[in-house]
Structure 1
Amino acid sequence: MLDRIKEFFRESARPQHKGGHGFDDLQFAAAALMAEAALLDGGLGEDERRRMTELLRERFALSADDARSLVAEATVTMQDTQQLHPFVRAVTDGFDDSERVRLVEMLWEVIYVDGRVHDFEANLMRRIGGLINVTDLDIGSARRRVLARIGGADGAGAIRRPGETG
């Protein structure tokens, strides 16, 4: 009896997603966290959607159609829920240390698509990093790598938080 109760809670803690595209829980969890990062600044723009699709295609070797479907499903799910923990748990259980750091880098890429970091997004990155056991040092290093790719040698000056000047 106790084993059945434990199994019930293990099942309910797994990421639940709608649709029948056959995405595994790890793919969906990564997409859901990316969607949450993209939605925090008020909505999911076309540039964010496109970047999420590219990142998921590369990371999971998905077709363009599958990646677009995954982004769409994850976005709908994250608009309907405030729950990060099932997705965080899937990532923590399914990714090794370097893969979790790469996911953090992917999240920064989605956040920086619009050229700025909102306070909610920065807060989310600290929360997710802690939840998936990525150190602050690794979060910062991942951020700097993304900034270097999109904004020059260190990215400084290209990206600003709302309200920042010069």
Structure 2
Amino acid sequence: MLERLKAFFRNPSGYHTPLPDADAAHAMGALLVRAAKADHAYVFEEIAAIDKVLAKRHGLNPVKAAKMRAECEVLEKAIPARGDIAVILEKAISTEEKEAVLLALWEIVYADGYKHEIEDGLMHRVEEIFGVTVERARELQEQVEG
């Protein structure tokens, strides 16, 4: 009985978000989630920032943006930690989109008010995979910082 009670509180409705198709939009969302979780703290400010980015980029209302984020969380969890989501996007999106993704990632990294070394490392790895020069990457970061 105790096990059933624990199971209920872990997932009271029994509902499981299905794994979404690994399209570019969901891969980008999964990368946002991974950036938010990079410092091992996934806080409300980061979640709200992800919802805001998804809503703006995909023309979604707040409820649909939150649903998409939930799908992206499932996708992010399904891709092994050593699997690089940025590699999926690198071939799927244009240079302009890569820069837009980097801007969104910096927004998420700064959403909690702290910048951690591990987040900085993730960002530089993504910039490298995307083929963005160090100078251009710094310009994008400064856009968000300022």
TM-score range, shorter chain: 0.7 to 0.9
Structure 2 residue aligned with 1:25, among 23, 26, 31? 23
Pairwise CA RMSD: 1.9
Instruction: Tell me the equivalent position of 1:98.
Output: 96
The equivalences for 1:50-65 within 5 A come to 50-65=48-63
How much does 1:24 deviate?
6.1
The equivalences for 1:132-147 within 5 A come to 132-147=130-145
Structure 1 residue aligned with 2:107, among 106, 109, 119? 109
How much does 1:79 deviate?
3.8
Partners of 1:55 and 1:106 within 8 A in 2: yes
Query: Aligned residues: percent identity?
Result: 23
Partners of 1:51 and 1:110 within 8 A in 2: yes
Could you list the runs of 5+ residues in structure 1 that have no partner in the other structure?
1-17, 149-166
Aligned residues: 129
Counterpart-to-counterpart distance in 2, 1:47 and 1:63: 18
Q: Aligned pair in 2 of structure 1 residues 24, 67: CA closer, same or farther (>3 Å)?
A: farther
Letter of the aligned partner of 2:139 in structure 1?
S
State the TM-score, normalized to the length of structure 1. 0.70
Counterpart-to-counterpart distance in 2, 1:130 and 1:65: 34
State the TM-score, normalized to the length of structure 2. 0.78
Instruction: Tell me the equivalent position of 1:68.
Output: 66
Q: Relative CO higher for 1 or 2, CA cutoff 8 Å, sep ≥ 6?
A: 2
Counterpart-to-counterpart distance in 2, 1:60 and 1:83: 28
- Report which stretch shifted further, 89-98 or 116-125: 89-98
Structure 2 residue aligned with 1:36, among 34, 37, 46? 34
How much does 1:67 deviate?
1.4
How much does 1:83 deviate?
4.2
How much does 1:55 deviate?
0.6
Q: Runs of 4+ in structure 1 displaced over 3 angstroms? A: none
Counterpart-to-counterpart distance in 2, 1:145 and 1:88: 21
Instruction: Tell me the equivalent position of 1:128.
Output: 126
How much does 1:41 deviate?
1.2
Partners of 2:26 and 2:75 within 8 A in 1: no
Counterpart-to-counterpart distance in 1, 2:134 and 2:49: 24
